[in-house]
């Protein structure tokens, strides 16, 4: 498969809906953070189109309710709920273990937390990492690496990382913001880190037919995350779900990898995302922090 690379002048064609319904029917998609908001609507829309959907959340009651509602609304009985807390790297490993030996066509790293209430203090994860960097970046970094065999089994497959236009420069010497803290800055750093990882992973996968792209699903959509940050919602959750499904399934993106999108259009991220040295250093430190089995630069030789 020939893979599109950054700088090839790719354009999705705007709002054109070229999702292939037949291509969706029968695929298996894992949507993290799918008990609420964009993740839940994405899971619903994929199920409605015939996909087998693996839902994920950290509250078993909400998970059961979401799965039952989606099954009832779509008539799709190929749904499964996985309950883990991605603020723990051990539980991210547990999630991957639950899926060992299975094939995954689409991994949607949607689970995340926002900047928190205005003026909120710095928080840490169960592993002692700054909470936003832990949940929004380190957890999907580790989970993605652990699921690469499942994605390879179903290849050609796709990874969609939900990022944001709200990005802050990543301080590689202070990833956990120990020298100063602001919720919006922490959120922005974690989302830029995820974009940097997206671009770096696309290069390291090289000829492996797994496409990985990052997405800003929409600005201040009506989600719990936005409301908790005391921001006024400006768009509907469906807008974000439509963009996610597009990146996850559109034939127009066959072979396209290592890109950042805003909705259905390719966008430009913070310039740090295009710094190969910064990306490689972030990747190296992330491997150390998570214990992930990293891929060699610009090559996936020996990957299985």
Supply the DSSP string of 39-72, one letter for each residue. HHHHHHHHHHTT-EEEEEES-HHHHHHHHHHHHH
Supply the DSSP string of 140-205, one letter for each residue. HHHHHHHHHHHHHHT-SEEEEEE--S------TT-TT-TT---HHHHHHHHHHHHHHHHHHHHHHH
Residue where the block lists tokens 């800003």: 216
What are the residues facing 141 on neighbouring strands?
Answer: none
Q: Side-chain half-sphere of 204: how many Cα atoms within 13 Å?
A: 20
**Is the Cβ–Cβ distance between 198 and 283 less than 8 Å?**
no
Q: Side-chain half-sphere of 267: how many Cα atoms within 13 Å?
A: 20
What is the C-alpha separation between 109 and 194, in angstroms, rounded?
A: 10
**Is the Cβ–Cβ distance between 227 and 217 less than 8 Å?**
no
The per-residue b/e assignment along 13-33, b for 16 or more CB within 10 angstroms, e otherwise, is: eeeeeebeeebbeebbbbbbb
What is the C-alpha separation between 296 and 74, in angstroms, rounded?
A: 42
What are the residues facing 57 on neighbouring strands?
Answer: 83
What is the C-alpha separation between 57 and 63, in angstroms, rounded?
A: 6
Catalytic residue among 137, 187, 274, 283: 187
Told to judge if 187 belongs to the known catalytic residues of this protein, a careful annotator would answer: yes
Q: Mind telling me the catalytic residues?
A: 187
């Amino acid at each position: 498969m020939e893979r599109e690379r950054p700088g090839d002048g790719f354009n999705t064609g705007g709002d054109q809906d070229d999702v292939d319904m037949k291509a969706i029917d029968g695929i298996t998609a894992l949507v993290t953070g799918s008990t609420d908001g964009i993740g839940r609507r994405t899971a619903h829309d994929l199920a409605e189109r015939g996909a087998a959907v693996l839902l994920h959340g950290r509250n078993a009651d909400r998970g059961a309710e979401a799965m039952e509602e989606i099954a009832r609304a779509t008539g799709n009985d190929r749904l499964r709920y996985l309950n883990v807390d991605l603020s723990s790297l051990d539980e991210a490993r547990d999630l991957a273990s639950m899926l060992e030996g299975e094939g995954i066509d689409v991994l949607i790293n949607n689970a995340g937390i926002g900047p928190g209430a205005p003026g909120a203090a710095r928080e840490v994860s169960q592993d002692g990492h700054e909470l936003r960097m832990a949940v929004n970046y380190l957890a999907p970094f580790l989970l993605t690496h652990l699921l690469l065999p499942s994605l390879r089994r179903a290849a050609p497959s796709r990874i969609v990382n939900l990022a944001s236009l709200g990005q802050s420069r990543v301080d590689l010497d202070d990833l956990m913001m120990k020298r100063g803290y602001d919720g919006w800055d922490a959120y922005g750093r974690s989302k830029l880190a995820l974009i940097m990882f997206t671009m770096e992973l696309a290069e390291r996968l090289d000829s492996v037919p797994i496409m990985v792209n990052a997405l800003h699903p929409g600005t201040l959509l009506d989600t719990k995350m936005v409301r908790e940050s005391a921001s006024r919602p400006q768009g509907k959750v469906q807008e974000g779900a439509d963009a996610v499904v597009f990146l996850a399934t559109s034939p127009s993106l066959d072979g396209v990898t290592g890109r950042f999108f805003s909705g259905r259009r390719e966008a430009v991220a913070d310039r740090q995302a295009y710094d190969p040295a910064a990306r490689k250093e972030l990747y190296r430190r992330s491997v150390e922090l998570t214990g992930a089995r990293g891929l060699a630069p610009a090559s996936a030789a020996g990957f299985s």
